[in-house]
Amino acid sequence: MRFFVHPLPTPLGQGVAIVVDVIRATTTAARYLEAGARALVLAPTVEAARRLRQPGEVLAGEVGGLPPGGFDLGNSPREVAGVEGKTVVMATTNGTRAVHAVLGLPHILLGSLQNAQAVALAARGLGEEVHLVCAGKEGSPGLDDLYTAGVIGKRLRALGAEPRGEMAHLALFLAENHPLPVLKASEAARALERVGLEGDVAECARVDLHPTVPRWLGMRGEGMVFGR
- Closest by CA position to 216, among listed 115, 102, 121: 102
Q: Structural domain boundaries of the chain?
A: 2-227
For 117-172, how does the pLDDT look when each residue is reduced to its tens digit (9 = 90+)? 999 999 998 989 999 999 999 899 999 999 999 999 999 999 999 999 999 999 99
- Specify the long-range contacts of residues 177-180, CB closer than 8 Å, at least 24 apart: 177/147, 179/113, 179/147, 179/151, 179/205, 179/206, 179/207, 180/205
- Closest by CA position to 108, among listed 11, 178, 207: 11
pTM over 0.95: yes
User: What is 2-227's CATH number, 3.50.50.60, 3.40.50.20, 3.90.1560.10, 3.40.190.10?
Assistant: 3.90.1560.10
pLDDT bucket at 13, cuts 50 / 70 / 90: confident
